[in-house]
Structure 1
Amino acid sequence: MRRMAALCAVILAALLSTSPITSAAPPAPPPGAAADDPFTAARTQWWRDARFGMFIHFGAYSQLEGEYRRPDGSLCQDAEWIMRKCKVPVTEYERQAKAFNPARFNAKEIVGLAKAAGQQYIVITSKHHDGYAMWPTAVNRWNLREHSAFDKNRDLLAELKAEADRQGIKFGLYYSIWDWHDPDAAQLASYDKYKARMRAQLTELVDRYDPAVLWFDGDWAADGPTLHWTRRDGAELEGYLRARSPNLLINNRISYRPAGVKERRVVDGDFGTPEQTFPTGTVDAQLWESCMTIASKWGFARWDTNWKNHTQLIRNLTDIAGRGGNYLLNVGPDRTGVVPSIAADRLRAMGNWLRTAGQGAAVLGAGEPGVVADPDWGAVSRTGDTLHASVYQWPQPGKSLHLKATVPFTVLGARVLGSPQPVRVTPSGDGFDITPSGKFTNDVASVIELRIRPQSPVPPGNGSGLSAEYFGNPDLAGPPELRRVDPEVNFAWRFAGDRFSVRWQGFLQPRFSETYTLRTVSDEAIRVWVDGKLVIDANNPHETRVDKASLALKAGQRHAIRIEYREQTGEAFAKLLWSSPNQPQQIVPRSQLYPSTPGATR
């Protein structure tokens, strides 16, 4: 009876359903988890197509413009972290903020700059770690309207949101969980008071500005002051925000990253956030966006002249798009609200490259090529049956560029964008040699477009999911206490799951005959068999992680699959994803899964 009660609590709290196998409706998602697959969800489509966005770091720290003169006369330099790094007393920082007057902040010009750069969305700091709110919050007086010299009738975020809507740019907001200014944020005993104020501010931001993205930060184990945020806090906040704004995109920094943990988890939010770098290849089980600066610092610093040139920035963008990521490139306006001219010049140069000869097709709406490997002479992206090869090192006359194929396909034609020159493509070794007949068209990156005929997929299946058996113990022992068909293996029980296990069985039907990568996301033990062979064995208890296996699958064939998942303590996650050269990464969809029980339905 105790097992039965435990399992019922899990199912009721996490899935909100104890429906039998013949129920017509799927279970409701658990609180705090996205109910869909970010790789394929309609709400993330604009973001996956966008590839390029503008980050704006702007706040009370901008008033100092990167320099603080200490009482002893010594000069300390930083930017958005200047309050902490230079140990500026709170009263002195407040005094400096009182003089903050970004009167020249011009939303039309800033959004116009993003538009000129080819950026599709903007994310601006609404509150950085110093706790200063860049909107007229009712929660406290530490904000731009009540603690500055700025026009009391203006609202920068409202101006930027309205202009972004007018120019067709998506609008997002950054918000720091860590707060150096609120005294309750530093004290565990009163931290709940701070959390209540934080939720009230986020409610204001969502209701007032309707952001498409909430970009969290300040999620790591920290002191000075100590961060008391927890993973449970993150899960609860994520659930609250998703209920309030179902189409909202949230980054993975909404959770908590403990001390000594280098990587953030793939189960938090909708996308990962590598900073000042980008991955060298495919990222497992998560959408991602690389945030980087044009100079060194995020906020404006008059001494920071380490500007990246437009060549590096454009090549970063094409590399990132070809690896399936987004590029969130930062500008830091000065104390008056003006974006530095050199940063604006860099962005306009990027936009000019994107608009020239249709080269933007290599970035906007493009993604990983799959069918070819990343070359050492440039980057390759894919849109449908078109490959876009951004060439950084143009071959000498008569020489070729080699493109390694990962699966067979046919090249139907090739051209250099912006040039009438013929391009010869010939099979060679493990791929193709591409030989243009003329000069490069651009000294940053010349784009060669290749029309291809890849392997044709079999039609989509008509599956209903996998047969599932739920046990009220972590050992898959005894008879199951619940049987049904789950349309996908895509569950986040968060903190509602404890001491239970699940066995999924049925068939997996691919649409392509090629090597697939199966990926599981789990906490804390999972095993996967395909056609009777154990392909993923992660049965020892572990924190949330990704495990994967590569195996050859045949199009249209129903490959037997069994998944066993066990949970003993804490959170519980179980997800199954797949990808192949012609199948972009995604949660294995219902249509390609068949239950082991004949005639079983949802």
Structure 2
Amino acid sequence: MLYFRLFAWSTIIRTAGPGPLLFLLLCLSGCQPAETPQEAPAPDKAARLEWFRDAKFGMFIHWGPYSLLAGEWNGRQVPVGENAEWVMQKLEIPREEYRTLAGQFNPTRFNAEAWAQLAQDAGMKYLIITAKHHDGFAMYDSEVSAYNITDYTPFNRDPLQELAAACRRRGIRFGLYYSHREDWDEPYAYGNTWDFNFNPPDSLALFEQRYLYAKAKPQVEELLSNFDSLAILWFDRGLYTPEQAREFINLIHNRQPWCLINGRVGNYDQELLGDYQNMNDNGMPPGGIEEYWETPQTLNETWGYSRFDHNWKSPAEVIEKLVTVASRGGNYLLNVGPTGEGVIPEESVKVLQRVGEWMSNNSESIYGTTGSPFLNIPWGYCTVKENRLFLHVFEPPENGSLLLQGLTTNATSAYLLVDPLQKLSFSQESAVLRIALPPTLPDTINTVIVADLAGPPRVLPPVIRPDKDGAFLFDHYTAQTFGATAKRFNRKGKYHLSKWTAPSDSVCWYFEVEQPQSCELSITFAAQAEWAGQPYVICLDGEEIRAKVVETGDWYEYQTFLLDTVALRQPGKKKLTIRPAEGLPQYLMYFKSMELKPL
């Protein structure tokens, strides 16, 4: 990391109406003109996201001509651990040869009812399937491009319409994946470097004219017309400019105002766009994300079907990942990769059936819940619904007693979720809740204990302890945020604090000092050129440190700056706060962390 000392400003201080003919007809008939029906107001982001927040669990499906190849072409294999749906790119299959292979795609065993029923039985509330992946092949009846499953293959059916109808009958929300930037079938799209000599950033005008506005945007318009009430349009690989992304966002929200758009619609290197954010593929945040988010994960190591990949997750792994995501406030989008014949692999079916058994007894602890107020729980996880804690026990303590540290709201009862009549004894003292577990837990993977409270859970903020070198780290995970400040994720796989523009938007931490000491205080952040010079205030142990933001380069290019030397004169509990010094026209910075290092 780069270190700079900030001396310059660092100090220790504190329509036209009815026509004549219509008017005449109204008068002659003696009728009063009917009131013009008012168009329903467009939903705001919070309203669009309400169902998504409650759903928690969805099915992702990667399916296309690549499924027929099953991870192999001409005796060459896509290695296990890599994505089989990328077979065209990874093995550099010539465009015309891949088209010939796509023409043989004939998934005669496809059964939309069976797929939708599997999702329902597993407890999944929404389903997203690939309408067009990076290979450029449309898995629906497209008028924009004849390179689609109904016109180009002997199958001659629209499987996505069939699946949408099957989902609708079961109350499962239906969404579509669309690869809007990358298309290996198109000379002027991104990705195919073995057939075409074109790099879109070298000529965004050609990219837009020959591909984006000739195929991608018209196909998205087509999907909005052909599929009513889409729950989500799920984009991938991000566009080049915010303007390009906003064109897609505006198109979708104008045509289907309730349709959600995921965060991958925009440039990964810039400010996040869309209604909610996605983690990296198979990603899992440590917790503390204060925006709507979803993690796409897959049941083995590939997304599209590979006959070589047998590294299946166990039901226990899937249940723990689902609970982990819910306990951290997110949604779990779990992928299956059907075969070229149109069959979901038996291994996937068995895993989802076992997950469904667990959900049939415990779904109340997942749907409609919010994240855990506790940072770390050694025996499992916690989800919350109003005045109720759901305690997910994956590793029962040997002493048979669950411990919850820091809970100041009084508990009123404790019992098994699957058997509310089986009350459990508990005690609560000095913000510590103890619940006695029954001798035998009813579920071998995850037993859920319910703790009802007298009100919403209130939990003491964490107290940060020094590491082995005596240093204190203050990051997004342990931060307490106020005002508009939010803990966020970026597509570089990092986490930071942002959205703060006023003195009321602040962040604080508590830490414990054992003895008086002098320390160096440093800060790590990323900042754009236009953010440079914005003032901020750090309050520490009764003193203020004032500094200004420094440009760091790229959007997520974090750099570390040495602020000052501070004296911690008394041992005990301390509070560290940072906030904008004044109202700002844009975000203060992308804050990653601060560190106190003893001298």
* Correspondence 1:464-483 to 2 at 5 A: none
Return the offset for 1:530.
11
Once the two structures are superposed, residues 46-73 of structure 1 have per-residue CA deviations (whole angstroms, 9 ceiling, x without a partner) of 0000000000000110111221125xxx
Deviation of the 1:564 alpha carbon: 2.3
Is structure 2 residue 257 aligned with structure 1 residue 246?
Answer: yes
Larger radius of gyration: 2
Q: Which amino acid aligns with 2:212?
A: K
Q: Distance in 2 between matches of 1:63 and 1:350?
A: 28
Query: Is the alpha carbon distance of 1:90 and 1:545 closer, same or farther for their aligned partners in structure 2, counting shifts above 3 Å?
Result: closer
Query: How far apart, CA to CA, are the structure 2 residues paired with 1:178 and 1:91?
Result: 18
The aligned amino acid for 2:111 is N
Task: Give the counterpart of 2:281 among 275, 279, 282.
Answer: 275
Shift of 1:528: 6.4
Contact 2:95–2:184 (CA under 8 A) maintained in structure 1: no
Selected match of 2:219 from 201, 209, 215: 201
Q: Does 1:128 align with 2:139?
A: no
Q: Which amino acid aligns with 2:287?
A: G
- Listed as ranges, the matches of 1:18-417 within 5 Å are 36=44, 38=45, 41-70=46-75, 74-75=76-77, 79-151=84-156, 154-176=157-179, 177-186=181-190, 187=198, 188=200, 189=203, 190-192=206-208, 193-196=210-213, 197-209=215-227, 210-219=229-238, 229-258=240-269, 265-283=271-289, 285-356=290-361, 359-370=362-373, 372-396=374-398, 399-405=400-406, 408-417=408-417
Q: Calculate the TM-score normalised by the size of structure 1.
A: 0.68
Give secondary structure in 2 for the equivalent of 1:401: strand
Residue-by-residue CA offset, 1:521-543 (whole Å, 9 max, x unaligned): 98653556799998997733466
- Whether the aligned pair in 1 keeps the contact of 2:413 and 2:423 (CA below 8 Å) is no
Q: Distance in 2 between matches of 1:453 and 1:305?
A: 48
| Structure 1 residues 117-147: Cα deviation after superposition (integer angstroms, max 9, x where no partner) | 0000000001111111111111222111122
Q: Indicate if the aligned counterparts of 2:384 and 2:390 stay in contact, CA closer than 8 A.
A: yes
Note closer, same or farther for the CA distance 1:59–1:382 as it changes in structure 2 (3 Å cut): same
Tell me the matched-pair count.
457
Assess, with a 3 A threshold, how the Cα gap between structure 1 residues 573 and 269 changes in structure 2: closer, same or farther. farther
1:399 deviates by: 3.0
Partner secondary structure for residue 426 of structure 2 = strand
Q: Given residue 238 of structure 1, which amino acid in structure 2 is its aligned partner?
A: I
Q: Is the 8 A contact 2:266 2:272 kept in 1?
A: no
Q: Which amino acid aligns with 1:432?
A: L
State the SS of the aligned residue for 1:564. coil
The change in CA–CA distance for 1:456 and 1:292 in structure 2 (over 3 A counts) is: closer
Q: Which amino acid aligns with 1:404?
A: Q
C-alpha distance in structure 1 between counterparts of 2:543 and 2:186, whole Å: 56
**Structure 1 counterpart SS, 2:85:** coil
TM-score (norm 2): 0.69
Structure 1 residues 513-552: aligned runs within 5 Å? 524-525=530-531, 539-541=549-551
The residue correspondences of 1:430-579 to structure 2 (distance < 5 A) are 431-454=432-455, 524-525=530-531, 539-541=549-551, 563-566=582-585
SS at match of 1:146: helix
CA distance in 1, matches of 2:68, 2:547: 55
Deviation at 1:114? Answer: 0.4
Say if 1:374 and 1:489 are closer, same or farther in 2 by CA, change over 3 A. Answer: closer
How far off its partner does 1:289 sit?
Answer: 0.6
Letter in 2 for 1:199: K
Aligned residue number for residue 567 of structure 2: none
Question: Where in structure 2 are there 5+ consecutive unaligned residues?
Answer: 1-41, 191-197, 459-482, 487-499, 511-524, 559-573, 591-599
Deviation at 1:178, TM superposition (A): 0.7
Once the two structures are TM-superposed, the CA of residue 573 in structure 1 deviates from its matched residue by: 6.0
Gapped regions of structure 1 (runs ≥ 5): 1-33, 220-227, 259-263, 458-486, 491-502, 553-559, 567-571, 577-602
Distance 1:392 1:52, change over 3 A: same
Look up the SS of the partner of 2:152 in the other structure.
coil
Other-structure match for 1:474: none
User: For residues 129-176 of structure 1, what are the alpha-carbon distances to aligned partners after superposition, in whole Å with 9 as ceiling and x for unaligned?
Assistant: 11111111112221111221212xx21111111111111000111111
| Deviation at residue 267 of structure 1 after TM alignment | 4.3
**Contact 2:536 2:547 (8 Å CA) reproduced:** yes
Kindly tell me: are residues 440 and 489 of structure 1, through their superposed partners in 2, closer, same or farther at Cα, counting changes over 3 Å? closer
Code of the residue aligned with 1:54 in structure 2: it is M
**Aligned CA distance change for structure 1 residues 527 and 216 (closer, same or farther; 3 Å):** farther
Change in Cα spacing, 1:255 to 1:456, as seen in structure 2 (3 Å) is: closer
In structure 1, C-alpha distance between the alignment counterparts of 2:189 and 2:54, rounded to whole Å: 38
Residue 67 to residue 395, structure 1, CA distance change in 2 (3 Å): same
* Structure 1 letter corresponding to 2:393: V
